[in-house]
């Protein structure tokens, strides 16, 4: 998979941009706060239909402008794609097209462009709450499975509706009212739906975690050269979900009174976690800063391998100021692991990637210039 061209208008500080990328290594360099990460963000939007930094589209709009437009040309193994993404401030609406055809839902573009993004804040996947790890895994699986994306969207909707009903019932019971049959019937409907969705999502998460584990140990050994210590990096999937739908339904029934008292659903895949460990020790607790960094790099490189395995082609690699996170030895090991892949790097200094075709772009105040000798 290759990105051939990116055109942007009124996106953050990028007034007008037209970049033709090479198939090898594309190095975008310049001082801080000049727009380098904005370029990575503009690419990422075509992968997931949203930013990895902003919650609202209006935040992506250049100051004092009424709209933004972006266009990307992608070469896949079996076809070319021309995609448009825009936002209008007045109507507060998105516009998404694929090969000139308007897409009805944001989810329609997910999976069209597969990218793996490395950014300094990825360390939070190890150090922060389980919700951060769940979000990461959900994004990964959604990018390679339309069915999973549909299931996780349904699950969140049904879970919200069940939680709202639990809160209503809790208030009723506090007023010394009995549980009404209609409320029980609604809970039965929600529990049957959640049982099925829990099992399907659980099995898909389990399958992808197994795939990640097939790669992560070897990648970590190569990256850290820890053959002597034999550091075994592993992801453990922790869940209270049953694989059997009927058992899952029974568990939800057993927890119903407890859930009413709490006012929320205490059982299900929304409580899952993924423990990243080295030699069975939780990296978030016992790992050094260096081990946390190498664990994340190994995880993201494994993500790249899993995507390639599932879709049959390599995704595009986006490195947002990430080379500064690596020492020279790990940088060389990192680059040795990735082969025959398009890379787009942002950095404050002009760097050279040995053994790769390097194309240079200089960014200054939202304007970009491709170097003639690049």
Whether the CB-CB separation of 81 and 99 falls below 8 Å is answered with yes
First to last CA, the chain: 21
pLDDT at 301 over 90: yes
pLDDT digits (tens, 9 = 90+) for 36-51: 999 999 999 999 998 9
The count of other CB atoms within 10 Å of the CB of residue 93 is 10
Whether the CB-CB separation of 162 and 187 falls below 8 Å is answered with yes
**Could you give the domains of the chain?**
1-114+315-374 (3.40.50.300), 122-312 (1.20.1050.90)
Encoded tokens for 95: 């516009």
pLDDT digits (tens, 9 = 90+) for 217-245: 999 999 888 665 788 999 999 999 988 99
pLDDT at 374 over 50: no
Measuring CA to CA, which residue among 68, 60, 78, 82 is closest to residue 3? 82
What pTM was computed for the model?
0.92
pLDDT digits (tens, 9 = 90+) for 321-368: 877 767 777 777 888 888 889 999 999 988 888 777 899 999 999 999
Whole-angstrom distance, CA of residue 214 vs CA of residue 211: 5
pLDDT at 373 over 70: no
The mean pLDDT of 309-331, rounded to a whole number, is 86
Q: What is the predicted pLDDT for the residue at 173?
A: 85
Long-range interactions of 337-341: CB distance < 8 A, separation 24+: 337/219, 337/222, 337/223, 337/301, 338/301, 338/304, 340/314, 341/304, 341/314, 341/315, 341/316, 341/317
pLDDT digits (tens, 9 = 90+) for 168-185: 999 888 876 667 788 889
Q: What is the predicted pLDDT for the residue at 335?
A: 81
pLDDT at 85 over 50: yes
The proportion of the chain whose per-residue pLDDT surpasses 90, expressed as a percent, equals: 77
């Amino acid at each position: 998979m290759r990105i051939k061209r990116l055109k942007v208008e009124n996106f953050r500080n990028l007034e007008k941009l037209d970049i033709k990328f090479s198939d090898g290594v594309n190095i975008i360099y310049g001082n801080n706060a000049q727009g380098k990460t904005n370029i990575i963000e503009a690419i990422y939007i075509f992968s997931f239909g949203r930013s990895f930094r902003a919650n609202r589209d209006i935040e992506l709009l250049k100051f004092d402008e009424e709209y933004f437009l972006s266009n990307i040309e992608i070469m896949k193994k079996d076809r070319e794609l021309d995609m448009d993404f825009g936002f209008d401030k007045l109507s507060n609406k998105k516009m998404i097209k694929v090969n000139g055809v308007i897409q009805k839902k944001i989810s329609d573009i997910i999976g069209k462009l597969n990218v793996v993004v490395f950014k300094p804040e990825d360390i939070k996947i190890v150090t922060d709450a389980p919700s951060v790890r769940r979000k990461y895994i959900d994004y990964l699986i959604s990018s390679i499975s339309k069915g999973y994306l549909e299931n996780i969207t349904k699950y969140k909707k049904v879970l919200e509706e069940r939680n709202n009903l639990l809160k209503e019932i809790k208030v009723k019971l506090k007023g010394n009212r009995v549980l009404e049959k209609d409320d029980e019937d609604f809970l039965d409907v929600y529990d049957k739906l959640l049982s099925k969705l829990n099992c399907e999502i659980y099995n898909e998460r389990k399958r992808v975690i197994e795939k990640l584990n097939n790669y992560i140990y070897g990648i970590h050994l190569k990256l850290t050269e820890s053959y002597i210590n034999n550091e075994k990096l592993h992801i453990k999937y922790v869940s209270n979900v049953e694989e059997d739908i009927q058992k899952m339904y029974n568990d939800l029934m057993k927890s119903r009174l407890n859930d009413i008292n709490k006012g929320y659903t205490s059982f299900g895949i929304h409580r899952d976690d993924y423990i990243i460990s080295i030699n069975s020790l939780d990296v978030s607790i016992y790992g050094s800063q260096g081990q946390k960094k190498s664990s994340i790099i190994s995880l993201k490189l494994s993500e790249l391998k899993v995507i390639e395995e599932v879709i049959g082609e390599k995704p595009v690699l986006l490195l947002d100021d990430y080379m500064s996170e690596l020492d020279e030895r790990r940088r060389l090991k990192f680059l040795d692991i990735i082969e025959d892949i398009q890379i787009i790097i942002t950095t404050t200094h002009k760097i050279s990637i040995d053994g790769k075709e390097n194309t240079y772009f200089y960014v200054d105040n939202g304007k970009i210039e491709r170097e003639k000798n690049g």
